[in-house]
Amino acid sequence: MIYSNSSIIFLPLVLSFLAVVIATPLSLILIKKFGIIDDPTKHKHPAIIHKKPIPRGGGIPLFAGVLIASIFLLPMTNTVMALLLAGFIALLIGVLDDKFDLSPYIRLPINILCAIIVVASGISIPFITNPLGGIVYLNSVILPFNILLSQVIAVIWIVWVMNILNWSKGVDGQMPGVVAISAIVIGLLSLRFGFDDLSILSAKLSFIIAGSSLGFLIFNFYPARIFPGYGATAIYLLLAAVSMLSSAKLATAILVMGVPMIDGMFTISRRILTGRSPFWHDKKHLHHLLLDIGFRQPHVALFYWMISAILGSLSLLLESRGKLFALIMVGIIVGGGLLFLHITINRHNDNKQA
């Protein structure tokens, strides 16, 4: 079969974009009817920065856009069906969380279940490229109960992406921009591996995710008319999955999502070192720190987009060793910046209290 750029890139992107643009106003009617509203006077969450009630549940139109485009453009194979099923379960638990604020200890097992559904369909990380030379075959390592190491790492990867991107929706427009850029980069990279069925599936689904995110961005950019909510983890799950389809593209995915990745690792380490649960929220993510030093919400979102676009462009140009060097540099710069901001802001707060 002969494929064109329009059928692989533009049609999936445009169709999902239009589906979300239409679905979001319709979803808002239902969201408001069922009271899925983030009211800062009632929702006592430490990371809240908005001052007036805003509808949550943005995962509904986001997933609707992906679902509609997938039905029209993707073959309904077992893999695609598993992805959509896992995404729907993630959406369902996410919407319940948007309404009832579920415990993270309830959400995490559901995240793992969704990841297992994806991996059980055959999606995993069979190998990783050694930046120093050669290939490390993860599917050759068999763990107890006949479980492959490649499957375990794939589950961890999906759950990790679901959570670090969920943490990166702290300001209006931040998350959909990062997801769109990441999906476009992964989609373009998928086409480098040829036009086999898995590469085409990975590319099309990537551009569907990108279009859905860009459509939602219209309603989520500052001042937001709707928040993504926890239901948006359905989209993060799909993004993690496409990074594993066709050929492992983990280095690229990690690089383009470098800032959320480093912020997530820093956050978990900080919480554990201070004797707190890594799952409970606070107001010390990078986007919160940038707001503390004077950034406005649009500026924070643009900062995340710009860094993701730069890192994504680099990932398309660099080989494995170059990506490793870039990842190390991103870790040093972002990690050092986070540490500097924490120390500076804490000293400033101490001086104000003195």
Cβ(237)–Cβ(162) below 8 Å: yes
For position 4, what pLDDT does the model report?
58
Mean pLDDT of 283-310: 91
Please check whether residue 354 lies inside any domain of the structure: no
Query: For residue 270, is it within any domain?
Result: no
Q: What is the count of structural domains for the chain?
A: 1
Residue 333 reports pLDDT greater than 70: yes
| Residue 314 lies inside a defined structural domain of this protein | no
Highest mean pLDDT among 92-106, 204-218, 240-254, 282-296: 204-218
When pLDDT is averaged across residues 72-86 and rounded to a whole number, the result is 96
In contact, 289 and 338? CB cutoff 8 Å: yes
Highest mean pLDDT range out of 120-134, 287-301, 322-336? 287-301
319 versus 82: the higher-pLDDT residue is 82
Tell me, what's the pLDDT at 47?
62
Cα gap 172→224, rounded to integer Å: 6
User: What is the band of 70 on the pLDDT scale with cuts at 50, 70, 90?
Assistant: very high
Domain that holds residue 134: 5-250
97, 59 contact by CB (below 8 A): no
Which pLDDT value is given to residue 270?
Answer: 86
What tens digit of pLDDT does each residue of 165-198 get?
Answer: 998 888 999 999 999 999 999 999 888 866 778 8
- Tens of pLDDT, residues 119-158: 999 999 988 877 777 788 888 889 998 899 999 999 999 9
Mean pLDDT rounded to a whole number for the chain: 89
Question: Please, which pLDDT band fits residue 61 given cuts at 50, 70 and 90?
Answer: very high
Count Cβ neighbours within 10 Å for each residue of 238-254 and write b for 16 or more, e otherwise: bbbbbbbbbbbbbbbbb
Mean pLDDT of 272-291: 83
pLDDT of residue 248 exceeding 70 = no
The fraction of the chain above a pLDDT of 90, given in percent, is: 58
Q: Render pLDDT for 1-54 as a digit per residue (tens, 0 to 9).
A: 445 566 788 999 999 999 999 999 999 999 999 999 988 877 666 566 777 899
Within-domain flag for 257: no
pLDDT of residue 340: 86
The reported pLDDT for the residue numbered 231 is 95
What's the number of CA atoms in the CB half-sphere (13 Å) around residue 264?
A: 18
Q: Round to whole Å and give the CA distance between 27 and 67.
A: 15
Residue 119 included in any domain: yes
Give me the mean pLDDT over the 324-331 stretch.
86
- Say what the pLDDT of residue 9 is: 84
- In a domain, residue 32? The reply is yes
Mean pLDDT of 245-264: 84
Kindly state whether residue 157 falls inside one of the protein's structural domains.
yes
Q: What is the pLDDT of residue 247?
A: 62
Q: Do residues 209 and 239 make contact, with C-beta atoms less than 8 angstroms apart? A: yes
Tell me how many degrees the CA angle 120-124-130 measures, rounded to the nearest 5: 165
Would you state the torsion angle of the CA atoms of residues 302, 307, 312, 314, taken in this order, to the nearest 10 degrees?
140
pLDDT at residue 2 in the model: 47
The reply to whether 114 falls in a domain is yes
Mean pLDDT, rounded, for 313-326: 84
